[in-house]
Amino acid sequence: MATLLKQSQRGAASRRARPSSNKKRPAAPRLSPGQRLKKRLTYAMKHPLDALWGWLSSVRTAIFLIVCIIVVCILGIYFPQAPGEVLNDPTAYQAWLQQNALPQYGSLTPIYDWLHFFTIFSSWYFMLLLGVLALSIVVCTLNRAPAIWQNFAHPLIRRSDRFYQNALERASFSHPEAVAWTSAALRRRGYRVRSESDSVDNCEVTYLYANKNTWATLSTFVFHASLVALLLAGMISQWHGFPLNSPARRILPAPIISLSDALAGFSFDQALPTGESAVVYPRGTPHNISFRVNHFTARFDPQTGQPVDYVTDLSVYRDGELVAHSDHLRVNDPLTYDGITFHQSSLVASAVITITDAQGNVLYHDAVILDSSSTLPSGNGVVDYARGIPIGGTNYTMGVFFIHAEGQHLSQIAHPVLLIAIGTPGTSNNEDKALLRLSPGQSGKSVDGQWTIRLDAASDATVLLVTRDAGSPLVWPIAVVLVLSLCITFYFPQRRIWLRIRGDQVEMAALREHFTNIRTDLLGIAREARASAARREQRERAPEEARPSHALSSKQ
């Protein structure tokens, strides 16, 4: 940056020192595209930092990056995106691909997956584009900063004679008290006036510089800083941390890894029956946050049977102490604690099952979530199920099935019936340890009579979406600052007028600024000046016209 500033200063000095001449310079030889590319590469090899700085500060670079981001976003709209809850779980992600992407894209699915088309908004190239765009904005701001600050703190008061002749917006007038009256007129319109005097051709010339809302030009720094912060917040929102098997965890320093883990977000679904608990972070970690469902209710439309409201009574604990509680957790009313948000997502069927042996020893006692479903072969119903549930101390697994009509939920049935099957994995049904149809409160025996299986309860369980997004708390404040800085730019545009005063003659000139019409001020000041001069002249003539005629004759 220092090299570029020095070059620009040397160029400006040479232009000021160069005498004006009307001779035409010989046209530079036209280079072919290959020669231009070779010239740029040669310059980049000799001055890599200057070349990189120039590339980042180019408007073409910003347009190119924005177009690339738009293309990536269009791809993200076209291809289905994997939900956040499967991104950190390779098994769940592969299952999602098999269920959602493979039927639609077939053999191209592995290629699209390798290109991150199903996780495009958290892909490395999308993050890279956002990062380079943010860096480009920073470089452009630094490039413009000296000129903006110079205009704000040390503006140019005296302009050349040619400026007053060729300015697109200019006006002139005369006034007996040109300097004093013009300065007062500008201040009445809210301008700040600075002056400078000089002697030209033995005649005193006063230069005035009037500016209004120049402070608003500093809002460009606020706008660019907000834009960069917004891009960084978006990157943080999509950051899920380095995978456990990532080489980055072995290469990067420990403080960087700790910072990345602190900024990493997550999103997962957690189904919980009433009275059950789950953890956000593994037990033993410094966070050690858990949550418990105290009660869950769902209301259904009596006409259609569709759920119309889910309400969860949720408690959040940290190190065993209650730190947050909500007795009305709904879809649009989440609970947030320490950057973690608990959303009401949906509901799912669940069952509490107890298995004891002949001696009364409990082999299994837990809630089973029926989180899978499929349509019956006959097409006349749906089955919710859970399979492969291991029974501790044995080589048996359990499956629980709930058959119901499509759109029907467990809570809507007065006396639901569940099918419980226990057997050895890989064997046929006739070798099952147990195959029972039970309602809540009922129990049954295994085939050999050694086990007792009891269905303690069957009800709908809440499904909570647990998320952490380190970037989301920053988005709204940054967006507000961004909009305010834009409003300052649009509603308080900079106005600048340069004036040259010789005797009673005043020449005004101005640049056409963005979002403003400076011509109205120029014409308004000129009209006021002519009116003021006319009133002054009238006042000076009034005493002579009012003087009596005998006084004139006596003088004669």
pLDDT, tens only, 73-125 = 999 999 998 876 677 667 778 888 888 888 889 889 999 999 999 989 888 89
Q: How far apart (Å, rounded) are the C-alpha atoms in residues 473 and 337?
A: 12
CATH of domain 155-213+494-540: 3.30.160
Q: What is the pLDDT of residues 147-190, one digit of tens each?
A: 888 888 889 899 988 999 898 899 999 988 899 999 999 999 99
Contact 410, 460 (CB under 8 A): yes
Q: How far apart (Å, rounded) are the C-alpha atoms in residues 516 and 508?
A: 17
Contact 496, 516 (CB under 8 A): no
Task: Give 554's pLDDT tier (boundaries 50, 70, 90).
Answer: very low
Q: How far apart (Å, rounded) are the C-alpha atoms in residues 172 and 507?
A: 4
**C-alpha 356 chain-centroid distance:** 55
Q: How far apart (Å, rounded) are the C-alpha atoms in residues 452 and 467?
A: 40
State if pTM tops 0.85.
no
At residue 6, the pLDDT reads: 46
Tell me the pLDDT of the chain averaged across its residues. 84
CA 385, 391, 395: angle at the middle one, nearest 5?
A: 110
At residue 19, the pLDDT reads: 46
* Percent of the chain scoring above 90 in pLDDT: 34
Q: How far apart (Å, rounded) are the C-alpha atoms in residues 246 and 537?
A: 87
Mean per-residue pLDDT, 243-262? 80
At residue 547, the pLDDT reads: 58
Q: What is the pLDDT of residues 221-249, one digit of tens each?
A: 999 899 899 888 888 887 777 766 778 77
Taking the CA of residue 88 as centre, how many other CA atoms within 13 Å lie in the half-sphere pointing to its CB? Answer: 18
Q: What is the pLDDT of residues 504-534, one digit of tens each?
A: 899 999 988 877 889 999 999 999 999 988 8
At residue 552, the pLDDT reads: 44
Per-residue HEC secondary structure of 359-423 comes to CCCEEEEEEEEECEEEECCCCCCEEEEEEEEECCCCCCEEEEEEEECCCCCHHHCCCCCEEEEEE
Tokens of 154: 């040390």
Mean per-residue pLDDT, 422-434? 74
Task: Give 375's pLDDT tier (boundaries 50, 70, 90).
Answer: confident
Cα dihedral sign for 107, 108, 111, 116? negative
Q: Is the pLDDT reported for residue 363 higher than 70?
A: yes
Mean per-residue pLDDT, 330-335? 89
CB atoms within 10 A of CB 231: 20
Ranges of H-type helices in 79-123 = 90-96, 102-105, 109-114
At residue 17, the pLDDT reads: 43
At residue 268, the pLDDT reads: 81
Neighbouring-strand partners of residue 508 = 171, 499
Q: Is the pLDDT reported for residue 330 higher than 70?
A: yes
Q: Is the pLDDT reported for residue 542 higher than 60?
A: yes
Q: Domain residue spans in the chain?
A: 37-147, 155-213+494-540, 218-259+469-487, 351-460
Residue type for position 412: Q
Q: Is the pLDDT reported for residue 323 higher than 90?
A: yes
307-316 contact pairs (CB < 8 A, 24+): 307/347, 307/409, 310/344, 310/346, 310/347, 310/462, 311/344, 312/344, 312/462, 312/464, 314/342, 314/464, 315/291, 316/289, 316/290, 316/291, 316/342
Task: Give 5's pLDDT tier (boundaries 50, 70, 90).
Answer: very low
Tell me which residue has tokens 């300052």: 488
Task: Give 70's pLDDT tier (boundaries 50, 70, 90).
Answer: very high
